[in-house]
Homo-oligomer: A and B are copies of this chain.
Amino acid sequence: MDEIITLDYGSGGLRTAQLIEEILVPAFRNPALEVLGDGAVLPKPESALVFSTDSFVVTPWKFPGGDIGKLAVCGTVNDVCMAGGKPLYLSLSCILEEGFCMEDFREIVASIARTAKAVGVQVVTGDTKVVERGHGDGIYLNTAGIGVLRAPGLSKDAIRPGDAVLVSGSVGCHGAAVLFARGEIPFAGSLSSDCQPLQELSAAALDAGGVRVLRDPTRGGVATTLSEFVEHSALSIELDETAIPVDPQVEAACALLGLDPLYSACEGRMLAVTAPETAEAVLQAMRRTPGGEGAVCIGRVTQSHPGHVVLRTAAGGSRLLGKLSGAQLPRIC
């Protein structure tokens, strides 16, 4: 095998077969994949399905706490979980740029395989394309995920006044970690992406009961996600700034660049809106689950500012938070 990706590896011929047989199939081994048909045949599911997809164009492809491969598994797995599903199967599609290092590709494939194994999902079908130098950026990935529905009815429309707004840990770490990896922040410290799969955490929260809606605050961060929950509705969300966990490193990085941690992406945090009577139980369930130790209640659903998110600041004032406008952090996922 060559040391770099050439256009031949996207031909659909001998080189493509080599990539599949020597790197991809050995990494993901499972019966559905090994048939190498045009599509994977999967057993009849026991319930309704959840289906999601994401493309990943993060630059650089490696950052503290993760890489594009880990992100490609977590991103889609988490979307399936947030929609109430238990993820089972992934597709994987790679758009490689001519000249990309074969060793880096192997490392990314290994990261995908490791993360998928940890989550318990199988990569069952895939595709590889190669574009000429100057028409990509090393590697872009796409994953699509199929899960079975374990919690029907999750919806922002189920949110009611008095509901609690919970977050599973400190916010904005992923965005800051990618900026550090780009050399835009002069200090590292303990700065690390929160990139992690949320299947256990979402299952724990759902089992505790009373969950209205789940969402992972990726692009646009916590502020954008919560804004989407209440826009066009008669409800508002009031956040207590002092309750929102932000790592000091992330706070410092954002301050340096004039960014707001509430708009910085997470890739392994979960927002849950729950009925008031189960909020404490959901919080305790999240705290007992790996990745949710730092779960806290950050606010309440009210009717004070219909359609808006209001931040009660540490100084005693308040300001409205809208959706992210402009591209605060391009290509962070």
Contacts and interface: CB of A to CB of B under 8 A. Distances in A.
Contact of A142 (B43, B53, B132): B53
Interface string A39-52: 11111110111111
B53 A83 contact: no
B79 A132 contact: no
A277 interface: no
Contacts of A10: 219, 327, 330-331
A142 to B, nearest CB: 4
A8 B39 contact: no
A306 to B, nearest CB: 19
A303 interface: no
Interface in A42-76: 42-45, 47-57
B85 A220 contact: no
B127 A325 contact: no
A317 interface: no
Interface stretch (A13-21, A241-249, A292-300): A13-21
Interface stretch (A87-95, A204-212, A250-258): A87-95
A330 B97 CA distance: 12
A82 interface: yes
A304 interface: no
Nearest to A40: B51
Interface stretch (A109-117, A147-155, A180-188, A278-286): A147-155
Contact of A49 (B42, B83, B95, B220): B42
A155 B41 CA distance: 11
A126 interface: yes
Interface residues of A, number: 86
A219 B45 contact: no
Contact of A50 (B42, B48, B83): B42
Nearest to A140: B95
A331 to B, nearest CB: 6
A215 interface: yes
B155 A220 contact: no
Contacts of A15: 325-327
Contacts of A55: 93-95, 127, 129, 142
30 contacts: A7-B330, A8-B325, A10-B330, A11-B329, A11-B330, A12-B219, A12-B324, A13-B323, A17-B323, A35-B155, A37-B82, A38-B79, A38-B216, A40-B50, A41-B85, A42-B48, A44-B48, A45-B49, A53-B91, A53-B142, A53-B144, A55-B94, A55-B127, A55-B129, A55-B142, A93-B142, A130-B327, A131-B137, A132-B330, A135-B135
Given A13-B324, A55-B94, 12 more contacts: A11-B330, A13-B220, A13-B325, A14-B322, A37-B82, A38-B79, A39-B52, A41-B50, A41-B83, A42-B49, A53-B93, A142-B144
